[in-house]
Structure 1
Amino acid sequence: MSITSKEARTASAHVRERAAELGARVTVAIVDGGGHLQILDRMDGAPPLSARIAPAKASSVALFHRDGGELVRLQQAWPALFAQMDQVAGTPIMAGAGSRLIRRGDAVVGAIAVSGGMPEQDDECAAVGLASLSLPVST
């Protein structure tokens, strides 16, 4: 079972609210367990490129079953592998802050990614969106 559209909209609304409190303009992307985009929500004034980065980060997290921070460490450990991963996956692979798995129990049901703020803002906003779903937070 994947994250529902209603859950995705709820999480996105919480992300936007927190970003506004932080003074950040962000884009939030939420994908299902297969990395397919369910929602893309770009705040007014969010950097244009954030609308491409957020979905890439979200789908990468979903496909690898690892949060963004862990993907960054893998990318640093194996840069040659990551340089070719886009071709194998058939979609851009991007590791970065502000991207988290969405789980129901042990099952990955989606991922959330935020782009456009400073890395710590993106992380905080993604955590708020994830927490709004009342699902266990992955570590």
Structure 2
Amino acid sequence: MSLTLSEAQAISVRVREHAAELGARVTVAIVDGGGHLQVLDRMDGAPPLSARIAPAKASSVALFHRDGGELIRMQQAWPSLFAQLDEVAGTPIVAGAGSRLIRRGDAVVGAIAVSGGMPEQDDECADAGIALVGAVGVS
């Protein structure tokens, strides 16, 4: 079963609430298992570029089936490969903090990425969204 729009929206609301608690202004992007955008939610005052970075990070995580931290390590290990992946994938490939897979059991049903805060804030906000996953029926 896929991640539903209502589930994605609920996760986004939780991320924005957590970001506000931290005093961060972020953009959250949630994609389906194929990396297609479901929700793009930019908080007032979030950096303009974050609205482009978040969807790219989310789709990258979904397409690779790896969280952002693992993608960063892969990018560091194989920089020449990552320099060419945008062309092969047909979409920007961005490895960064605040990006996580969303799973239902063992299946990847989507991904979330947060951009605009400090890296640790982006991570914490994404984790807050993932913590809600069980409550909205995605596990």
Which interval holds the TM-score relative to the shorter structure? over 0.9
Residue 5 (structure 2) pairs with residue 5 (structure 1)? yes
- Tell me the residue number matched to 1:127: 127
Listed as ranges, the gaps of 5+ residues in structure 2 are: none
One-letter amino acid of the counterpart of residue 117, structure 1: G
1:65 to partner: Cα distance: 0.2
- Tell me the residue number matched to 2:118: 118
- Tell me the residue number matched to 2:74: 74
Listed as ranges, the gaps of 5+ residues in structure 1 are: none
Q: 3-state SS of the aligned residue for 2:52?
A: helix
Residue 28 (structure 2) pairs with residue 43 (structure 1)? no
The TM-score with structure 2 as length reference comes to 0.96
Measured on the aligned residues, the alpha-carbon RMSD in Å equals 0.6
- Tell me the residue number matched to 1:30: 30
Q: 3-state SS of the aligned residue for 1:46?
A: coil
1:133 to partner: Cα distance: 1.3
1:24 to partner: Cα distance: 0.2
Residues in 2 aligned to 1:2 and 1:57: alpha-carbon distance in whole angstroms: 20
- Tell me the residue number matched to 2:91: 91
% same residue: 82
Q: Deviations over 1:9-65 (max 9, x none)?
A: 100000000000000000000000000000000000000000000000000000000
